Chain A
Amino acid sequence: MTDRNGTAASPVLAIRDLSVGLKTRTGITELVRSVSLDIRPGERVGLVGESGSGKSLTMLAVMGLLASPVCVTGGSVTLGSTELVGAPDRQLRALRGSEIAMVYQDPMTSLDPLQRVGEQIAEGLRAHGTSRSEAGERTLAALAEVQLPDPHRLARTYPHELSGGMRQRVMIAAALAGNPRLLLADEPTTALDVTIQRQILSLVARIQRARNLAVLWVTHDLGVAAQFVQRLAVMYAGRMVEVGPTAAVFSAPQHPYTAALLAAVPSTTGERSALGQIPGSPPEPGSFPPGCSFASRCRQARQGCTQTEPALEEREGGVAAACFVPPAEWQP
């Protein structure tokens, strides 16, 4: 089992050179290209990017939930010592809900509208061999842990009787009831109001710390990433372009895309000035240009950028970036 103290600090999840592609009659269209990321016990890691950057596909690939014709085309994903890529469905099903748990953006699509909330959580536990009475107890404990009032009454409600924030709490309760080592979350607070989002983030952070959980949090919201995760990976056109400790990435981004993205976010404080813009739009999968995918939109691009693809390389402060031009040489 896991080292709950996290002292060993060997990764709970190790993603190595993971690639995802769309199989067509003429070949494979690359969607996610060579993503490598470790998540250690007790660590909250963010996967940040705009629509189409491949962040959600990466997460689905980790879960083994890609649907044909989209599939993993290379690399490996290991949970502890178990290889997940190519593992039989049976084994993956056993891991989901016990070792790995997931939370999605829209709880209404994950919750059965015709089943009471408590039964749904208990059903998940029973599927992994928990007895009926123990499943009932653990369900109530899980609902209490996510701070839903009166778990006994709440367990008997149907999803439609709950607010969006409460439903997302139920989803988190269901995800964590099986006592997983790893929580994968795909934009779980994006559809919520900011005041509710704050409560959910704080709740997950508290449980995560208490259980020394490893968390992979997919979000498009740089504010959420800044406030919630300790380490983040920025994705662009299916690739990780920058990865490092959140504080370091935000204070001194090493990739021009990260820098441009940060300049485009409005703030509630400070000087009010025009927002930074990125000209053009990201390349479509299937027509990724040679060299760096961001080069055509990049203010720092040089001649070589459109020919050779920069590799993700270590920089100072534990940050790695895939760019030929160091920040010291950037044009303002």
Chain B
Amino acid sequence: MSAPAEQPAGLPGTGAPVPAATVPAAPVPAATVLAATGLVKVYPPAGRAGQPSIALAGVSLNLTEGACLGVVGESGCGKSTLARLLVGLERPTAGSVLLQGQPVTSFRRPELARHLQLVSQDPFSSLNPRLTVASALTEVLLVHRRVPGKKEAAARVAELLDMVSLGPQFASRLPHEMSGGQAQRVAIARALAAQPKILILDEPTSALDVSVRAGIVNLLARLRAELALSYLFISHDMAVIRQLSDQIGVMYAGRFVERGPWQSVMSSPLHPYTRALLTAVPEPRPDGSLLDSADHIAHDAPDTSQVQVAASARTGCPYFPRCPIRIDKCLTDDPPLEVVTGAHEAACYRAGLAVESSGGVPVESGSPPVERA
């Protein structure tokens, strides 16, 4: 039995899946629902000889009511650590998280869960394998007193399933009786059962097949509009991030290296790392652009541990070793995240130059970068 076809999430005529950010009108001062200031997370060394690894090296952000902040980056950039700190699963080494203006640590856990829910990559790991969908949802409804009693819960379970475009027959299913896409819909329904205002979505579509992923992305767009939710959407996939976000933040080595309105970040990226990321996305158009441009790459990227070492060295820009447009200053000074144009920020001394020279087209230098002097 197929799930009922979802309504296209777009607004009629505009083709945009989300109402916000398409027209950058006079900024209405939206309330900040979740704010992070100077978040640092250092993990102790793994072995005796190891170095402590700096997962987050000073991250600040503001999530406004009803907005979607997309956070994109590659493995080891700290994006999942950020998610864990924001939902209070781990405590930051330094810095603070404010929920509705109050420290997230001052909330008791059930109360926190009524504000903020996490949806992760693997729905099967967040669903109890021995609970039916109905029991799993009912449990959440009763714990958070979102329904007066068990009787009312059944109706609400049906509503929640309908919200995620699953038929009522799914109420009696166990997790193993569902596909990955169906289980992810249930995980989303379970997060929504607590009636949070904020969802932290950590790679919710990364384990899914192409056609299933499309359904979840459209569903998330629709739910945000219908329920006025705020999203922090984490993904390694630039195209998926673009699909849902008002603002896009690009993380590298535990910090934001670029952040701005989605159109600006996608069409005129300021940071060389963002441009490298965009160039590397295999576009579903056989234009050969990926192989052509890649033919010039002569140096390998450092692995995760090297990125972390770069972060812990604390001098210079962490992207220095891979950067095709670096200058001497980048080796000694760490560029702060600063506004370059409008609301578009970048942490790069050469950000302005990058825009002028490339005209916003993602290109990577044809020759290997100059050797360290």
Contact = CB atoms under 8 A, between A and B. Distances in A.
A224 B294 contact: no
Interface string A131-173: 0000000000000000111000000000000111110000000
B217 interface: yes
B90 interface: no
Contact of A272 (B3, B17, B288, B295): B17
Given A267-B284, A275-B243, A281-B181, 15 more contacts: A51-B209, A149-B300, A194-B236, A198-B297, A201-B282, A201-B291, A202-B290, A227-B289, A228-B290, A246-B286, A261-B210, A266-B240, A272-B16, A276-B214, A281-B2
Interface in A188-206: 193-199, 201-202, 205-206
Given A250-B284, A264-B210, A272-B243, A193 B74 contact: yes
Given A272-B242, A278-B211, A281-B181, A247 B286 contact: yes
Interface residues of B, number: 61
Nearest to A260: B211
Contacts of A221: 282
Given A199-B297, A277-B214, A164 B2 contact: no
Interface string B196-225: 000000000000011111110110010000
Interface stretch (B32-40, B52-60, B108-116, B273-281): B273-281
A277 B306 CA distance: 40
Nearest to A266: B239
A196 B221 CA distance: 30
Contacts of A205: 291
A205 B242 CA distance: 29
Nearest to A228: B291
9 contacts: A163-B303, A164-B303, A194-B282, A202-B291, A227-B288, A261-B211, A268-B283, A275-B217, A280-B1
A273 B243 CA distance: 8
B75 interface: yes
A164 B9 CA distance: 37
A202 B6 CA distance: 39
The 7 closest A-B pairs by CB, nearest first: A163-B303, A280-B2, A223-B282, A202-B294, A264-B214, A275-B214, A273-B15
Nearest to B5: A279
Contact of A195 (B237, B266, B276, B284): B276
A112 B287 CA distance: 38
Contacts of B303: 162-166
A50 interface: yes
A260 B214 CA distance: 11
Interface in A277-332: 277-281, 296-297
A38 to B, nearest CB: 20
B271 to A, nearest CB: 13
B10 interface: yes
A127 to B, nearest CB: 29
A194 B237 CA distance: 8
A227 to B, nearest CB: 4
A70 interface: no
Contact of B211 (A193, A247, A277): A277
A81 interface: no
A247 B284 CA distance: 10
B283 A226 contact: yes
B131 interface: no
Contacts of A268: 238-239, 242, 266, 278, 281, 283
B217 A224 contact: no
B265 to A, nearest CB: 10
Given A195-B280, A277-B6, A201 B294 contact: yes
Interface string B48-80: 000000000000000000000000001100000
Given A194-B74, A195-B280, A268-B239, A277 B5 contact: yes
Given A226-B284, A274-B8, A220 B209 contact: yes
Contacts of A265: 210, 214, 239, 284
Contacts of B181: 281
B284 A274 contact: no
Contacts of B6: 277
Nearest to A257: B211
Contact of B284 (A147, A206, A223, A296): A223
Contact of A198 (B240, B284, B290): B290
A241 B218 CA distance: 27
Nearest to A205: B291
Contact of B3 (A193, A262, A263, A280): A280
Given A274-B218, A275-B217, A197 B280 contact: yes
A252 B269 CA distance: 32
Nearest to B278: A268
B304 interface: yes
Nearest to A163: B303
Contacts of A263: 214
Nearest to A263: B214
A91 interface: no
B285 interface: yes
Contacts of B74: 193-195
Contact of B283 (A162, A223, A273, A281): A223
B291 A227 contact: yes
Contacts of A163: 301-306
B204 to A, nearest CB: 14
Interface centre among A222, A227, A262 (most CB of B within 10 A): A227
Given A147-B300, A202-B294, A261-B210, A272 B284 contact: no
A269 B291 contact: no
B280 A50 contact: no
B214 A199 contact: no
Nearest to A248: B286
B217 A227 contact: no
A199 B211 contact: no
Contacts of B239: 265-268
Nearest to B207: A51
